[in-house]
Structure 1
Amino acid sequence: MTYRTTRQWTLTLAGGIALIGALSATSPTLLASPHPGATPTQPTHHFWDDLNLKPLPGDVWERLRDNLEWHDRRHVARVQEWIDHYRANPGNIVEIIERARPWMAWITEQVERRGLPGEIGLIPFVESSYDPLARSHRGAAGLWQFMPGTADALGLPRHHGYDARLDVIASTQAALDYIELQAEQWYEGDIELSLAAYNAGAGTVNRARHAAAARGEPSDYWHLQLPGETMNYLPKLNAIAAIIDDPEAHGVTLPEIDDAPAFAKVPITAPISLSQLANVAGVNQSELAALNPALTHGSANPATVDVVLVPIEQEQAILAELSSPSSRPAPRDGAQYLVQRGDSLSAIANRHGISVAELRRHNGLDGDVIHAGQQLDIPHRSLAAR
């Protein structure tokens, strides 16, 4: 089946081809997942800016099944081999789905909005086992496995404690944009060839197509001779789709995914660490880190992000606590403190019952100059009292 996109691109035709050409010139190990409209001068786009925090209508699984299109591929021998493989390890599928729980409904909705085959929303199963923090030995990161050089070229920044490759919304939009653009410009709307190029690089796929044509053979994905990983790429994707489409027939029990949001946005007006926020929320810091995978330094700064995601049941309490500087929680003994706007070394020392000299000595400071976003070690009170 060939998909023909009806998307109206914001780039000019020449600009789109130039972008694809630039990426195809990179190493095949770079996953080409650019955002065609992104430039280094544009404002950073964060996954929480667009995250739909309202309950989505209907059931996530039914919604996904309604959008699956490649049913005929499940009869291909290569797909059947992977169906058998996954059926022999049903726990793997369930484990990945549990990891996908916060993001699956949103990604499914984005794929649906574009009119793409629902199978596209399952690509993170193959790429990263749906782990936003996944990193390959080659240096790729995130759900869609962007390489650093690719991310830099595509305007997905890595700075100030923020890695856009781990930004679920930014990376998803980039991947879907490129898959569509590449299919439209090079493969006459053939999404399967575009996915093969996403995995192996366009140069590898195009050489395989030319070789097939020279042999008088079809040049669609299923007839090409490609590297082993790419030969298995779409079979894996279709096998997972088949199991999700009819889990009972494949001996798999899918966990329910609640459409209601498990998190809410909390605006950030001053730098704050996730450990401080966890203290306020009464939740584990690892839970907040899981909801905010792009915050690589464990802190949020309004210079980089506007909001963080928190468990929805703690939303009101956290908003109340963060509404005034006086309500900011003090770090525990021996903890770290993220300097806020308007803080002074003496005020921080007084807040924690220690001397300025002790705070300077503990952090190797020569004077009293500090800046917002700076991390200070707070000495244990018993040590400070000596």
Structure 2
Amino acid sequence: MVQKRFAVALLAAAVGGCAQMAEKQPAPQDTSTETSETPAKVAVSSDLSPAEKALPPTDIWDRLRRGFRLDRHTNHPKVEDYITYFSRNEGYMSRVTERSRRYIFHVAELLEEANLPLELALLPIVESAYDPFAYSHARASGMWQFIPATGRHFGLRQNWWYDGRRDVDDSTRAAIEYFTYLSGHFDGDWELALAAYNAGEGRVRRAVERNRRRGKGTSFWDLDLPRETQRYVPQLLALAEVVSRADYYRVPLHDIPNKPYYAEVDVGTQIDLAQAAELADIEPEELSLLNPAFNRWATDPNGDHELLIPREKRDTFLAALAKLPKDQRVTWQRYKISRGDTLSTIARRYETTVAAIRDTNKLRNNTIRAGKTLLIPSASGPSGQYAYAVDQRVNGGGSSGQGSKTDYTVRPGDTLWEIARSLGVSVRQLARWNNMGTGDTLRPGRKLVAYSTGDNSRTTRKLSYRVRSGDSLYRIAKKFSLDIGDILRWNKISKSSYLQPGQRLTLFVNSAGG
């Protein structure tokens, strides 16, 4: 459980803002130019009748609507702009609501337990497009986009093996604790609380105090806040409006039943994730999407040892796990120490930690002797079975071999990057297989082919980075652990190019963050 401790200085920091990824929607204009065409101006009530309220929710969207409590300000120009955007971008709404299907029931459950508005269940769409692997230039990670310091403040453990900011349940509990605090701090004004979640409590408080001194209004709509925050709150209110009246706006919401998707299982000890997927009779990808906090090929040897398993596979998993001896839950290799070896070089070679090797071999310190043998925990499956592990990153062209073939039909709004990520291949591979350039225009209906490889791009995230005063290519590359050559290639600039403050650079970064 997230510990309840509120250090004012830390809470003044921003959670990290929205991840800027290919799936994120572009910001519309700040003022509506043709508001007469905006459907939100038509007065259509979305309230349920007493008879309808007496019936159980038909699906998760019906359940959310019953728990909506915020004033949606549908006549405000910024909200109208986003209502128009969401109602016209059916492909985007279909994708993000489909992506939410594993998580949104459980998010709604936790919000209801805390007696918070269920509009907050839509906030991960604004923050991360409901992608638990989302990562932003501000080093924010997970569905709720916590930066490292704020995540640690709310008890989200972060180490080499594990990043609790991506843990589905724990990050949701942390977000709920933070929202509960912010709501109380701003006297139940949810628009200010939402703004503070995005921009930081201190910044919003100072904006309120500044307006009060000047005799101006102190509502969210009156404040001088960062442009991102000015758009952030209207986006959520517009989403709530569109979800509330999806039929009216003709917005496709993925069909999600109002029932649990997963169950939590305490496995007791460290376990290889590929082996856990096999025990549960599910694909490794499914296990990773439910357990995105694990950075490596196995759970953290020092715990916690909970795994989320699809609910219908829980009994299958428990039965198979009970038959597997605990010392066989990870694969062990015997390594004969060579002259010049150190525990750190051996740990890197076997994708584990010095502490794990020391614990396994009951070593008192880091001293080792050539000729002795160490027992090393190691991954049991090929790298392709750990598609979301931190170390499974895209490296250029990748493998030249071709495995099983996958066909893909281009949909409206698709990009080569999104398709490559969904198929688990690099952009250059996908372009090469289809005799096209990485910058070619995609036309809806075009057929693309891809082949399975040992290379995977699922933990790499595209983000738009705004150059700051004092930035250099070297500094940006160092900050995100990138090669300068890659930054030059992605942005079609030369090494001698002068970076201007405010300039936008496209980066492809490791989603594990820091």
Q: TM-score, normalised by structure 2?
A: 0.55
Residue type matched to 1:375 in 2?
Answer: S
Q: Secondary structure at the match of 2:73?
A: helix
Match in the other structure for 1:232: 231
Aligned 1:44-83 pairs, distance under 5 A: 59-83=59-83
- Say whether the 8 Å CA contact 2:274–2:381 is kept in structure 1: no
Are the structure 2 counterparts of residues 114 and 260 from structure 1 closer, same or farther at C-alpha, using a change threshold of 3 Å? closer
What is the CA–CA distance in structure 2 between the aligned matches of 1:301 and 1:363, rounded to whole Å?
Answer: 15
- What does the per-residue CA deviation read over 1:168-195, in whole Å, with 9 as the maximum and x for residues that have no partner? 222112112122212323x222221121
Compared CA separation, residues 278 and 256, structure 1 to 2 (3 A): same
Residue identity in the other structure for 1:145: Q
* 1:115 partnered with 2:115: yes
The answer to whether 1:197 aligns with 2:199 is no
CA deviation profile, 1:210-238 (whole Å, cap 9, x unmatched)? 33224322111011121110001110000
Secondary structure (helix, strand or coil) at the match of 1:232 reads helix
C-alpha distance 120-376 of structure 1, shift in aligned 2 (>3 A): closer
CA distance in 1, matches of 2:314, 2:273: 14
Trace 1:1-386 onto structure 2 (pairs within 5 A). Answer: 16=6, 19-24=7-12, 26=13, 28=14, 30=16, 59-159=59-159, 161-185=161-185, 187-301=186-300, 303-325=302-324, 338-339=330-331, 345=334, 366-370=371-375, 374-375=377-378
Q: Structure 2: which amino acid aligns with 1:142? A: G
Give the whole-Å Cα distance in 2 for the aligned partners of 1:109 and 1:264.
13
Shift of residue 57, structure 1, vs aligned partner: 6.7
CA change 1:301–1:228 in 2 (3 A) is: closer
The structure-2 alpha-carbon separation of the partners of 1:262 and 1:203, relative to structure 1 and needing over 3 Å to count, comes to: closer
Computed over aligned residues only, the root mean square deviation of the Cα atoms, in angstroms, reads: 3.1
Residues 263-291 of structure 1, C-alpha deviations (whole Å, 9 max, x = no match) = 33443134321112233344321111111
**Aligned in 2, Cα 1:179/1:227: closer, same or farther, shift over 3 Å?**
same
In the alignment, what sits opposite 2:389?
none
In the alignment, the residues of structure 2 paired with residue 131 and residue 207 of structure 1 have an alpha-carbon distance, to the nearest angstrom, of 32
Moved more, 292-301 or 86-95: 292-301
Instruction: For 1:378 and 1:70, locate their aligned partners in 2 and report how far apart those are by CA, in whole Å.
Output: 48
8 Å contact from structure 1 (residues 278, 288) kept in 2: yes
Between the aligned partners of 1:71 and 1:376, the Cα distance in structure 2 is 51
CA contact (8 A) 1:144 1:175 kept: yes
Is the 8 Å Cα contact of residues 268 and 302 (structure 1) preserved in structure 2?
A: no
Task: Check whether the contact 1:107–1:172 (CA below 8 A) recurs between aligned residues.
Answer: yes
Q: TM-score, normalised by structure 1?
A: 0.72
The one-letter code of the counterpart of 1:304 is G
Contact 1:128 1:142 in 2 (8 A): yes
Instruction: Name the SS of the counterpart of 2:308 in structure 1.
Output: strand
Unaligned runs of 5+ in 1: 1-9, 32-55, 330-336, 347-361, 380-386
Residues in 1 aligned to 2:182 and 2:373: alpha-carbon distance in whole angstroms: 55
Q: Does the 8 Å CA contact 2:10/2:150 hold for their aligned counterparts?
A: no
> In the aligned structure 2, how far is the partner of 1:366 from the partner of 1:293?
39
**In 2, distance between residues paired with 1:101 and 1:378?**
28
- Counterpart of 2:418 in structure 1 is none
Question: Does the C-alpha gap of structure 1 residues 66 and 366 become closer, same or farther in structure 2, counting only changes over 3 Å?
Answer: farther
Report SS of the residue matched to 1:162. coil
Query: Aligned equivalents of 1:309 and 1:256: distance in 2?
Result: 22
- C-alpha contact (below 8 Å) 2:105/2:260 kept by paired residues: no
Give 1:162 deviation, angstroms.
1.6
| Structure with the higher fraction of residues in helix conformation | 1
- Answer yes or no: is the 8 Å Cα contact 2:272–2:380 preserved in 1: no
Q: 1:140 to 1:201 in 2, by over 3 A?
A: same
Identity rate of aligned residues, in percent?
33
**CA distance in structure 1 between the partners assigned to 2:240 and 2:204 by the alignment:** 24
Q: Tell me what 2:358 maps to.
A: none
Q: Which moved more, 1:168-177 or 1:219-228?
A: 168-177
Matched residue, 1:39: none
Does the 8 Å CA contact 1:20/1:182 hold for their aligned counterparts? no
Unaligned runs of 5+ in 2: 18-55, 336-348, 352-369, 383-514
1:315-339 C-alpha deviation (Å, 9 max, x unpaired): 333333322346998xxxxxxx934
How far apart, in 1, do the equivalents of 2:223 and 2:115 lie? 26
Check whether the contact 2:57–2:258 (CA below 8 A) recurs between aligned residues: yes
Structure 1 residues 194 and 265, CA gap change in structure 2 (3 angstroms): closer
Q: Distance in 1 between matches of 2:179 and 2:379?
A: 44
Q: 1: CA distance between counterparts of 2:99 and 2:206?
A: 37
Equivalent AA in structure 2 for residue 20 of structure 1? V
Tell me: higher relative CO, structure 1 or 2? Use CA pairs within 8 A at least 6 residues apart. Answer: 1
CA distance 1:338–1:214, change in 2 (3 Å): same
How many angstroms does 1:97 deviate by? 0.9
Whole-angstrom distance in 1 between the partners of 2:121 and 2:230: 19
Q: 1: CA distance between counterparts of 2:79 and 2:248?
A: 16
Give the direction of change, closer, same or farther, for the CA distance of 1:316–1:29 in structure 2 (3 Å limit): closer
The answer to whether the 8 A contact 1:269-1:302 is kept is no
